[in-house]
Structure 1
Amino acid sequence: MYIYVCVFSRLYIPSVRFGANVLSSVFFCSEKTRPDLQYVAYTFWIHYYVGLESGTEGSFFLSCVKLVLSCSYIIVNDGASFECSTHVKMRDCSARSKFVRSWLKQASRFFQELYAMGKCPLNYNEKLKSQNELDSSLDLWSRVDVQTCTKWGAPIMWEGTFDPGDFDRHHIQKRTSVALTVFAIGRYLEVYLKEFLKSAEQYFMVELPVTYYIFTDIPEFVPKVKLMKQRHMKVIQVKKQKRWQDISMLRMKTIADFIESHIQHWHQYIFCFDVDQVFVGRFGSEALGETVGLLHAFYYRSHVKDYTYDRNPESAAYMVTGDFYYHAAIFGGTWQGVKNITEFCHQGIMKDKEKNIEALWHDESHLNKYFWLHKPSKVLSPEYCWSTIIGFRFDIRVHRLLWATKFYDILRT
């Protein structure tokens, strides 16, 4: 049995070196006792990170700005006690630097939940004023724990705010057809594509006609998956690129060209997905809109200064600020809306290429620039693409799509 005891004093010591020494002592002790001493790391992080980094956001937890660890931790393990003081120097922990960085990331993700999200700017119980009657019927105030609409009047789709049946009946009546594009190049096809398709058959727009458009350099290895009625699959061969970054960026032009030549004649809507994901819950017609962006799971509760926009003024993707940080793993809309998105991103990529520049996060950086200049008509919450690395969050009531395990060291070589 473990007992964690800590005492805090109201001291203001904004020294990074002091913070590093405290943190190193925490990990030094946790390694000597048990590696999952998360409470210690998290308690440090709420004082050091939230207090010193987030400024004055009005959160209750900002009272921690003048609190730092100033005591020892006493860990009692079957009668054996260890006193862990703040006197452990960084040089004593140099061999543990990788371990410390890992814990630092985990702690920051855990306490991102303490950041207050923005709120829907409408008056309480007010409905959206939208040309789309379904969006106007959303129960935005059933989820007061999260932001349910944007300042420009677009809904942010969260579990509990919509009736799935209403959306499905509407789109069945409208005879809506959806295209899904996914790129499975090289080893990505072997590792991810089959599970992606099988799970999509279970959960993606199951009430509607769907065609999967699979872009790959090895079409002969596309797995055979049993499809439901009104579901189809088409395989399009593309040239393999030398670098994964080029694959990521060139997909924008490929999608734009294929919309022009094919998709616009057969489908009203299109969703573009990364292949290294697995559907685990309903991803339904409530997600359809003119242009649809996805809140990045790692940043939806972060401060705007922490968003990883491209900060290079020379890049076409350059941004100083923005509304949200969008994840390029999923974007969608009407065929015309997605055509506009992909053409804009491709043009930005080519402008950068002329200057021998690459945006920080490649096509995702350009996608964020597009949604800053041209606001999406609908925003999907992180429920629609969640990472289990983040861990449990109270506001994430359902998982609809999960990141698959990443094997970047193997797949991106």
Structure 2
Amino acid sequence: MQSLKPERALWRPWWLMKYFVIVLLLSLWWYTLKYNCRYPEETFTCKTQLKNEQPNTVRMQYTVFVQNFIESAEKFFMIGHKVNYYVFTDRVSDIPNMTLNKDRNLTILKVPSYPRWQDVSMRRMEMIRDFAREKIASEDFLVCVDVDMKFNDEVGVEILSDLFGTLNPWMFGLPHEQYTYERNPQSEAYIPTDEGDFYYAGTFFGGSVEKVYKLTNFCHNAMMTDKAKNLEPVWHDESYLNKYLLYHKPTKILSPEYLWYDDLGIPAFLKRRRFLAVRKNYNEIRNR
């Protein structure tokens, strides 16, 4: 497999920023960290691919989250803009009929099943890659999110960039030496203990279709290389995602406002909780 090489650092002076943001220099590139933002009206098409509602076996039923997710998105996600939702599942008949707002569409795509939830998690990168290449190459942006979530406040065009990632709230505030990167040097997801900028969540990422294709193509190829060596990284597709974003810096990073788990409490700095994990019993869901 071709080695992953760092891209040229992206230096973005504040006067060239598209939106009002907080800009910090915490690494070797300028990035935009999104907190408490308002945004201008723009014209674009946003494709939302629900990547946690994907190949399941009879033991896993994330379809129970689809209606709640879509209803919350219709209230808070990209309001006033055209949005196409794509749900990947092997349980097409389980997806309920839903009434959507104007210029919003829902497409259900049937995909294969896999026997383990770990394989489900990792294979979604392949599906997103193939989807980006074959179905929507001419569209503007692709936003990839887990379906066992709900929107709780406005999420709009302020998140969009060539490539964006979201900080994992469980790692927020920790030194990078404590991040749960993959530490096995034999794995394609390996990150040394003296490297790392942020720890990104696999729950919420996206960007232009071209950039998302490159990211997911790397993740899938790295996973297949590891699979041939009988290796599996500690956090599966999220481990490969972090490896890619370490060397291909995102042009925008979303703060914990855009991904939060109420099990962590609600700290004083968190003024808005825009995208929340739905509390659930994983054993119950995965064995339904």
Q: TM-score normalised to the size of structure 2?
A: 0.89
> Distance between the aligned counterparts of 1:404 and 1:148, measured in 2?
33
| Partner deviation per Cα, 1:306-326 (whole Å, 9 max, x = no partner) | 100000001000001200000
Number of positions where the alignment pairs a residue of Structure 1 with one of Structure 2: 270
Deviation at 1:305, TM superposition (A): 1.2
> Distance between the aligned counterparts of 1:201 and 1:301, measured in 2?
32
Match of 1:276 in 2: 148
Matched, 1:319 2:191: yes
Deviation at 1:257, TM superposition (A): 0.6
In structure 2, the residue corresponding to 1:200 is in which secondary structure?
helix
Cα distance change, pair 150–278 in 1 and its aligned pair in 2 (3 A)? farther
Deviation at 1:394, TM superposition (A): 1.4
Matched, 1:181 2:54: no
In structure 1, the residue corresponding to 2:137 is in which secondary structure?
helix
Match of 1:21 in 2: none
Matched, 1:298 2:184: no
In structure 2, the residue corresponding to 1:326 is in which secondary structure?
coil
Deviation at 1:151, TM superposition (A): 4.3
> Distance between the aligned counterparts of 2:245 and 2:31, measured in 1?
12
Contact 1:293 1:378 in 2 (8 A): yes
Match of 2:98 in 1: 225
Aligned CA-pair RMSD = 1.9
Match of 2:14 in 1: 128
Deviation at 1:190, TM superposition (A): 3.6
Contact 2:126 2:217 in 1 (8 A): yes
Cα distance change, pair 226–336 in 1 and its aligned pair in 2 (3 A)? same
Deviation at 1:129, TM superposition (A): 5.2
Deviation at 1:128, TM superposition (A): 1.7
Match of 2:264 in 1: 390
> Distance between the aligned counterparts of 1:139 and 1:191, measured in 2?
36
Contact 2:21 2:32 in 1 (8 A): no
Structure 2: which 5+ runs fail to align? 1-10
In structure 2, the residue corresponding to 1:305 is in which secondary structure?
helix
Matches within 5 A, 1:345-364: 345-364=219-238
Deviation at 1:214, TM superposition (A): 0.5
Greater gyration radius: 1
Match of 1:201 in 2: 74
Match of 1:114 in 2: none
| Partner deviation per Cα, 1:375-410 (whole Å, 9 max, x = no partner) | 001000011010101102111110101011132112
Contact 1:292 1:333 in 2 (8 A): yes
Contact 1:203 1:281 in 2 (8 A): yes
Deviation at 1:189, TM superposition (A): 3.4
Match of 2:284 in 1: 410
> Distance between the aligned counterparts of 1:232 and 1:150, measured in 2?
39
> Distance between the aligned counterparts of 1:148 and 1:295, measured in 2?
16
Deviation at 1:191, TM superposition (A): 2.4
Match of 2:108 among 225, 231, 235: 235
In structure 1, the residue corresponding to 2:85 is in which secondary structure?
strand
Structure 1: which 5+ runs fail to align? 1-121, 142-146
Contact 2:21 2:35 in 1 (8 A): no
| Partner deviation per Cα, 1:236-276 (whole Å, 9 max, x = no partner) | 100111111111111111111111111113x2100111111
Bigger relative contact order, structure 1 or 2, given CA contacts below 8 A and separation 6+?
Answer: 2
Amino acid corresponding to residue 367 of structure 1 in structure 2:
L
Match of 1:110 in 2: none
Cα distance change, pair 148–163 in 1 and its aligned pair in 2 (3 A)? farther
Cα distance change, pair 260–190 in 1 and its aligned pair in 2 (3 A)? closer
> Distance between the aligned counterparts of 2:78 and 2:184, measured in 1?
39
> Distance between the aligned counterparts of 1:203 and 1:307, measured in 2?
31
Matched, 1:380 2:254: yes
Percent identical pairs in the alignment equals 35
In structure 2, the residue corresponding to 1:331 is in which secondary structure?
strand
